[in-house]
A and B are shown apart, each in its own frame.
Chain A
Amino acid sequence: MKPSIIKLSWQLFRQQYHTSDNRLLRWIQGCLLFFLLSLSLSSVSIQTHLEKNLQQLLGADLVLSQYQPLTESQLAHANSLSTNHTLVQLLGLTLTNGEKWQKVKLKLVGDNYPLQGNLTVSDTLSGETIAARSGPRPGEIWVDARLFSSLELSIGQSISIAEKPFRVTRIIHHEPDKLLEGHGAVSMRAMIHADEIGLFDEEVSELGSGKATEAQYRYLFETNSAHHQSFLTWTKKELPGAQVVHRGGGHPLALFWQRTENFLGLASVLLFLMAAIAIDLTGRRQLINQKRFVALCLSMGISRTQGITLAVLQWFIGFILLLIPALILASITQVFIIGELQAQFPELSSQWQWLPIMKTIVLLLALLAIFQIPGWMELSHVSVPQLIRQQSNKRSNWIRFFWSILSITGLAVFYSDNGLLTGFVLGAMLATLLLMMSLTWILLMVGEKVTQRRQGLLPFTFFIMKQRLLSKSVQILGVGLCVTLLLFTLVLMKDMGNAMQGYVRHHDGNLMITRAQAHQVENIKQWAKQTGSQMRQLKPYLHGQVVKINGASLSEHTTKPSDSMAALKARVRLHWSAQVPANNQLQSGQWWTQNTENWNQVSVEEEVMTDIGLKLGDRLSFLVEGKVYDFVIKATHVYKPGNGSITFWFQVPPEAIKHIDANQYYMGSMELPENAWPELSKLWQQNPRVYLLPIREMTERFDNILAIITKLVTFFSAMIIFMAVLVITASVKGYEVDDRKKNGLLLSFGLPKSSCVRLSLYEWLITALIAAIGAIVGTWLAGELIYQSQFSMNYVPDVLWLSVALVITTVLVCCAGLISSRASLNASIQQLVAQ
């Protein structure tokens, strides 16, 4: 490439730098760069943290977890691949102290715990921590600081577990295998000696038996990294339900973060959609200038290729110069985001890595370039005669549309993990766009027809808008999309809070039974009778783990992360029912007939089918208490509101239970009167292994999550509002010359300036009204689709709230439109004469 071409591109870039079109385009592209770079930089910091975390907080070289102890021979084989090991047994139960109660995870540890790293403890909450060489002695219980405060315990006091007293002797501050406990909001923990296992005869099985139980068995191994692969191969073959984490492997939270990142990626798809419209509107005039310039180049003997190269280089220079401030701003934002996340992940710190950042930059470069391709293609068709005779190219609209869709699809494929959610969001948006387009066409056609023979500015508004149908449609779609996204984001935030507090309680009582055995259910029923509580739902299930799909392991079947995939890595609940449950609806396939002998049938929830990529006829292998059972997918079901919210992902015929040797549990809900709550600790003292979850505790947890989501949504809303302003400005700027001419002409017809303002107001009012109606219907549609599939909630639109939103949206859009149009409203006949 000739240096003169680069120099000329630079000169052209500088000349166009201060034009309003160029400024607007810079803001749009800068906004996208900033958003995706902030996402990418934060992601790098979190990934680096997870990697470091894995190295420091595993407490062993390799950890194997499952719901049954290893058999003698399995342990012998594992030992042959390692130099040392220790076992941690984990049980979920509820500890009480007076009327206080708390659900905890109890760790039973041997004398050789910890294997690697430090177990730090103290005597007082704020006291100095010391490194303990081993865990508690028999008869002692150590509790973590949160549990110590929550139960209002004191050192030296006694608490009972299964009617045996334990003395509280230490407060735990750090466990070397903390990584596997998770972070922040996970269960509180208590630790006792492994010799106390006799207290839990019902829940555990003899070590070496290999029999599945309710307890979780975590084996920590000291091993050479050279043996990791052999270990993995062996566990994959012999222990399909086991989870193995090792140094050098993936962090258990890595998948979770990837999903979060992907969800944010989906948000950026929507931002891209808006940007595509804004870029299209802004690029309209720029393209005319560029075409004129290339035609001039051709008339001066410069080749077409050089002309196009100039345009491409000019755009590239703009991109690079935008990148620098966007990167600086994104870095500052990243520090802020990491600061916020440090409350949940205290060891997290800001990191900087070039490779992932470069990857994002290249992706952005490619996607933004795709938006420009139709323009560059048009430049390749420019000819000198066009300088004399302006010719419009009708095909270019479709080409522009095609490339914009391609770019957005590319981004969606790259980022989205949840096919169903992405499909619903984009589907709802597409339906909204179609609705707004139809509304625009119908309203303008009918409006113009009806008012054709009437006097005044409104009929004229309809006439002129109808004449500009195509450009008006693009403007309305841009504004409408922004309003829809904003409204949906706000509605979602509001409804999630309300729904959790109101809806769940209304249908499911105020206490969830998440796990209870048959004899415990009897105790609960008795307790309910004594306290005047009501049992609302009770559904049986057993624990199973999907270990194979059509003979292949889960990771072999699909590598795409999703919520369903993450949940399937652990045990899931298998429910049996002769008919389709009242709160379910058959979606595809056929439910089994009553008393069927063919028990190897399963119905799978629709979203799980989509996420995992399953189809009717696929074979699922469930590991249930050490034995593998095969089921063929015969039907799919979805949640149907109105009869309680408990929906199981996997449902089998009742006949199957006769063939599966496993513990049976119940899940359900109760409604407790106010006076029953203080009695709840008694129920727990008698049945510490019953898993009960008060809805208020659930909402408290939810509130904490909501607080983080709110911050995220606020940031995203700010981005949408900013993008909406850019879209409105772009839609006005793109037609400013035409509007200026129109207003000048109206003045020349004898209309006062106030009429031009009124005319503009009417145009914006119609635009805002269509956009607002589209937004409300779009929000309703998205709500109907996404609420049920993603949150198992029924979408109940708040008419008053939506009406207020409609009015506010219309007023705001009108104001924004009029402010943006003030330049064209300043038109005069003098300007027309001067031209």
Chain B
Amino acid sequence: MTKHIILGSVGHHFQTENRVISLFQGLSLTVSSAETNAIVGPSGVGKSSLLLILAGLETPQSGNVVFSDGGVAQPLLALRQQSGFIFQQFHLLPELDAINNIALPLKLKGDKSAMEKAEEWLCKVGLENRAKHKPSQLSGGEQQRIAIARAFVTEPAFVFADEPTGNLDEKTAKDIVELMFECSDANQTGLVVVTHSKALSKMADHCYELSQQGLLGYKDSSVKVA
């Protein structure tokens, strides 16, 4: 059943020592677990904050966030339990090898076939020969592949990615993007990616540009410009 995250007239700002920096106001957006979404925009405009609000990790200063499952509103904790994350810095645990890094969320949930599933995902991301390698022995692209596998291994409703190719060269970035979208398609997982990459954004079902003026949708008519 399709799940949705609905932002209703959301506004957000943050406070420095002597002034309030406003990020966005009256922003409304709906993302679906059956689609891929890209958020682009210049640095400092609040893309990452928007991603965290969508993931239910940050509470907006105004407006509301609703997670709906088959049209029924669910608590945001349920959203978090059905989410995966991909970070720009990969954030693999250095003391765990590749397979154990992927198995980590499954083990937490007490999945009895955690290692088998992790192995399966290791093959999916093309690193079956690197199972016992520690993150320090892997290249940046390989580390991000492991991070992607870790995010998708629990079959979440949504995966949130923050600048997933920011630390990678063009060729590797392209491979990573393709992998992410493939995984999303294959698992029917909603993907929300914050990126600077035009190429990446073009691959998404929906692309939004966040600027001082608000959020502008490129491909979908349901985007409400603030």
A is bound by B: yes
B107 near A467 with CB under 8 A, answer: no
Instruction: Judge whether B37 is part of the interface by a CB distance below 8 angstroms.
Output: no
Contacts of B110 in A (CB 8 A): 453-456, 459
In the complex, A748 Cα to B83 Cα: how many Å? 8
- Give the residues in chain B near A745, CB-CB below 8 Å: 91, 93, 104
Of B27-35, B51-59, B197-205, the one with at least 4 CB within 8 A of chain A: B51-59
- Lowest 8 A-B CB distances belong to which pairs? A455-B110, A750-B81, A748-B85, A749-B105, A453-B112, A750-B80, A835-B89, A833-B162
Interface membership of chain A positions 747-758, coded 1 if the CB is closer than 8 angstroms to chain B and 0 otherwise = 111111000000
| Residues of chain A lying within 8 A (CB to CB) of residue B83 | 748, 750
If A748-B83, A830-B57, A835-B87 are given as contacts, then 12 extra A-B residue pairs at C-beta distance below 8 Å, sorted by A number, are A455-B110, A459-B107, A460-B108, A467-B93, A467-B95, A467-B96, A468-B95, A748-B84, A752-B77, A829-B52, A833-B51, A835-B89
Partner of A830, one of B58, B94, B107: B58
Chain B residues with CB under 8 A of A114: none
Q: Which of B80, B95, B108 has its CB near the most chain A CB atoms (within 10 A)?
A: B108
- Give every chain A residue within 8 A of B85 (Cβ-Cβ): 748, 829, 832
Contacts of A834 in B (CB 8 A): 48
Interface residues of A in 808-835 (CB under 8 A from B): 828-830, 832-835
A742 sits at the interface (CB 8 A)? yes
Does B82 sit within 8 A of A, measured CB to CB?
Answer: yes
CB contact list, A376-404 vs B, under 8 A: 390-392
The answer to whether the Cβ of B154 comes within 8 Å of any Cβ in the partner chain is yes
A173 within 8 A of B: no
Q: Point out the residues of chain B lying under 8 angstroms from A471, CB to CB.
A: 95
Contact of B91 among A391, A752, A830, A832 (CB under 8 A): A832
Chain B window 61-88, contacts with chain A (Cβ cutoff 8 Å), 1 for yes, 0 for no: 0000000000000000100111111011
> How close is A763's CB to chain B, nearest CB, in angstroms?
14
Across-interface contacts of A688 in B (CB, < 8 A): none
Residue of A nearest to B154 (CB): A749
**Residues in B whose Cβ lies below 8 Å from that of A738:** 93-95
In the assembled complex, which residues on chain B have CB atoms less than 8 Å from the CB atom of A748?
Answer: 83-85
Question: Is A616 an interface position by the 8 A CB rule?
Answer: no
B187 at the interface (CB under 8 A from A): no
Can you spell out 9 A-B residue pairs with CB atoms less than 8 angstroms apart?
A459-B110, A460-B108, A741-B91, A745-B93, A746-B108, A747-B57, A829-B57, A832-B87, A835-B88
Assess the A751–B108 pair: CB atoms within 8 A: yes
Q: Contact at A832–B89, with CB atoms within 8 Å? A: yes
Closest-by-CB residue of B relative to A390 is B136
Q: How far is the CB of A457 from chain B (nearest CB, A)?
A: 8
Q: How far is the CA of A456 from the CA of B104 in the complex (A)?
A: 13
Interface membership of A783, Cβ < 8 A: no
Partner of A460, one of B48, B94, B107: B107
Whether B100 is near chain A, meaning CB under 8 Å from some CB there, is yes
Q: How far is the CB of B86 from chain A (nearest CB, A)?
A: 10
- For B104, the chain A residues whose CB sits under 8 A away are 745, 749
One digit per residue, 1 when the CB lies within 8 angstroms of any chain B CB and 0 when it does not, for chain A 317-339 equals: 00000000000000000000000
CB-based nearest A residue for B134: A392
Which residues of A have CB within 8 Å of B77? 750, 752
Q: Which residue of A lies closest to B151 (CB)?
A: A748
A745 to B103 CA separation, bound complex (whole angstroms): 13
> How far in angstroms is the closest Cβ of chain A from B53?
11
Per the bound structure, the CA–CA distance linking A745 and B104 in Å amounts to 10
Measured between C-beta atoms, what is the minimum distance from B3 to chain A in Å?
Answer: 14
| Inter-chain contacts of A829 with B (CB < 8 A) | 52, 55, 57, 85
- Chain A stretch 512-538: residues in CB contact (< 8 A) with chain B: none
Residues in chain A near residue B57, CB distance under 8 A: 747, 828-830
Instruction: Report the bound CA distance from A834 to B58 in whole Å.
Output: 13
**Does A478 sit within 8 A of B, measured CB to CB?**
no
Taking a contact as CB atoms under 8 Å apart, the answer to whether B93 and A742 are in contact is yes
What is the CA–CA distance of A829 and B48 in the complex, to the nearest angstrom? Answer: 11
Contact B107 A833 (CB under 8 A): no
What residues of chain B lie closer than 8 Å to A468, measured between beta carbons? 95
| List of A residues within 8 angstroms of B19 by Cβ | none
Taking CB atoms, residues of chain B closer than 8 Å to A828 are 57
- Per the bound structure, the CA–CA distance linking A523 and B27 in Å amounts to 109
For the complex, is A316 an interface residue (Cβ under 8 Å from B)? no
Query: B171 interface residue, CB < 8 Å from A?
Result: no
| Contact assessment for B108 and A833 in the assembled complex, using a CB-CB cutoff below 8 Å | no
Chain A: which residue is nearest B78 at the CB level?
A: A750
Most-contacted residue by chain B among A453, A741, A750, A834 (CB, 10 A): A750
What is the distance, in angstroms, from A209's C-beta to the closest C-beta of chain B? 83
A400-412 interface mask toward B, CB cutoff 8 Å, 1 = contact, 0 = none? 0000000000000
| Residues of chain B lying within 8 A (CB to CB) of residue A460 | 107-108
Residue of A nearest to B96 (CB): A467
Does B52 lie within 8 Å of A741, measured CB to CB?
no
Task: Indicate whether A392 sits within 8 Å of B107 (C-beta atoms), given known contacts A467-B95, A744-B91, A829-B57.
Answer: no
B136 partner, pick from A392, A742, A752, A830, beta carbons under 8 A: A392
Shortest CB–CB separation between residue B181 and chain A, in angstroms?
21
**CB-CB under 8 A for A463 and B95, given A390-B136, A832-B87:** no
Task: Please tell me if the beta carbons of A463 and B107 are within 8 angstroms of each other in the complex.
Answer: yes
**Residues of the B chain whose Cβ atoms lie less than 8 Å from the Cβ of A835:** 87-89, 91
Cα separation A459 to B87 with both chains bound (whole Å)? 26
A460-B114 Cα distance, complex, nearest whole Å? 12
Contacts A459-B107, A467-B96, A745-B93 given; indicate if A833 touches B82 (C-beta within 8 A).
no
For window 465-500 of A, CB contacts with B under 8 Å fall at 467-468, 471
Residues of B within 8 A of A459 (CB): 107, 110
- Contact: A467 with B100, CB < 8 Å? yes
> Bound state CA distance, A750 and B104, in angstroms?
12
Name the CB-closest residue of B to A456: B110
A730-772 interface code vs B (CB 8 A; 1 in, 0 out) = 0000000010011011111111100000000000000000000
Within 8 Å CB of A833, what residues of B?
48, 51-52, 87-88, 162
* Contacts of A426-469 to chain B: CB distance below 8 A: 453-457, 459-460, 463, 467-468
Instruction: Name the B residues within 8 Å of A741 (CB-CB).
Output: 91, 93
- CB contacts (< 8 Å) of B136 on chain A: these are 390-392
Decide: A749 and B95 in contact? CB cutoff 8 A: no
What B residues does A391 contact at CB under 8 A?
A: 136
What CA separation (Å) do A453 and B94 show in the bound complex? 23
Which residue of chain B lies nearest to A451 when distances are taken between CB atoms in the complex? B110
In the bound complex, how far is the Cα of B85 from the Cα of A829, in angstroms? 9
Report A-chain residues with C-beta under 8 Å of the C-beta of B58: 830
Distance, CA A750 to CA B78, complexed state (A): 8
Most buried by B among A456, A744, A745, A752: A745
Question: Cα distance A467–B105 when bound, in Å?
Answer: 15
When distances are taken between beta carbons in the complex, the residues of chain B under 8 Å from A749 are 84, 104-105, 108, 154
Closest chain A residue, CB of each to CB of B51: A833
Residues of B within 8 A of A392 (CB): 136
Q: Which of B58, B85, B88, B154 has the most chain A CB atoms closer than 10 A to its own CB?
A: B85
List the A residue with the shortest CB-CB distance to B135: A390
What's the nearest-Cβ distance from chain A to residue B174, in Å? Answer: 23
The residues in A between 596 and 631 inclusive whose CB is less than 8 angstroms from any CB of B are none
Across-interface contacts of B154 in A (CB, < 8 A): 749
Q: Enumerate chain A residues within 8 angstroms of B80, measured Cβ to Cβ.
A: 750
Q: How far is the CA of A459 from the CA of B51 in the complex (A)?
A: 32
In the assembled complex, how far is the CB of residue B168 from the closest CB belonging to chain A, in whole angstroms? 15
Report how far A833 CA is from B87 CA in the complex, Å.
Answer: 6
Question: Could you tell me the distance in whole angstroms from the C-beta of B21 to the nearest C-beta in chain A?
Answer: 15
Cα separation A832 to B108 with both chains bound (whole Å): 19
Mark interface residues in B114-156 (1 if CB within 8 Å of A CB, else 0).
0000000000000000000000100000000000000000100
- Chain A residues near B48: list those with CB within 8 A: 833-834
A261 to chain B, nearest CB (A): 45
Query: Which residues from chain B contact A830 at a C-beta distance below 8 Å?
Result: 52, 57-58
Q: Which among A467, A749, A834 has the highest number of chain B CB atoms within 10 Å? A: A749
CA distance A641 to B121 in the complex (A): 66
Which residues of the partner chain B approach A454 to less than 8 Å between Cβ atoms?
Answer: 110
Taking CB atoms, residues of chain A closer than 8 Å to B87 are: 832-833, 835
Report the minimal beta-carbon distance from B116 to chain A, rounded to whole angstroms.
11
